[in-house]
Structure 1
Amino acid sequence: MIKVRKLAPGFSLSKVRIGTVEGGESGFLVWKSNHLVAVLTQIDEEAYSTKGKWFLETGFGLLTGQHKNFDTIEEAVMWVGRHTFPRSVPVAAD
């Protein structure tokens, strides 16, 4: 299990299957203060020695248009944490 509190305060992850290939790929929705800020996928390709690494599939806000590979999920979440809005945002009431 990933201890997100150690990586970036205010972040949480939701495990999902991302429909980028037939059958989908493992991935995580990255949340900060209940706001979706990024979608990360685990690379399942042998090419270029990238299998098992993580890819910023899409980002929102300050991450819009960014695409980047990471060696670990922890590295990916730390990077997202450094590049999203700097302060916690108010949590919307349900």
Structure 2
Amino acid sequence: MTLTLQPVRVATGFDEEGMMAFDDEQRLVAVLVRLSDENEVAPGQWYLEAGFGRLEGINRPTFSNLDMAKDWIGQRLSRT
């Protein structure tokens, strides 16, 4: 599975740098937000702000980089 990331600003109130993740069929499957360096829990990491389809309703993990986020999303979407 190939995921495509597209930059987006997300109106979270504090952390706005985001990425939309699209699957092979160009469906939106996730929105990731980069947490600010001032974040007390996971500074500078990427957070699963929203997941759709098979990613909906699951825990919202953080990732140290976008490659890790893409791998995690791809694994969840590939499960049968």
Question: TM exceeds 0.5?
Answer: yes
Matches within 5 A, 1:1-94: 9-22=1-14, 25-33=16-24, 34-44=26-36, 45-48=38-41, 50-66=42-58, 67-85=60-78
Give how far 1:86 is off.
5.1
Residues 61 and 85 of structure 1, relative CA distance in 2, 3 Å threshold: farther
Rg larger in structure: 1
The aligned amino acid for 1:62 is R
Q: CA RMSD in A?
A: 1.8
Identical positions, percent? 32
Name stretches of at least 5 consecutive residues in structure 2 with no aligned partner.
none
The aligned amino acid for 2:22 is W
Normalised to the residue count of structure 2, the TM-score between the two structures is 0.84
Alignment: residue pair count: 77
Q: Deviations over 1:38-85 (max 9, x none)?
A: 00000113313x111010001011100121111111101110010015
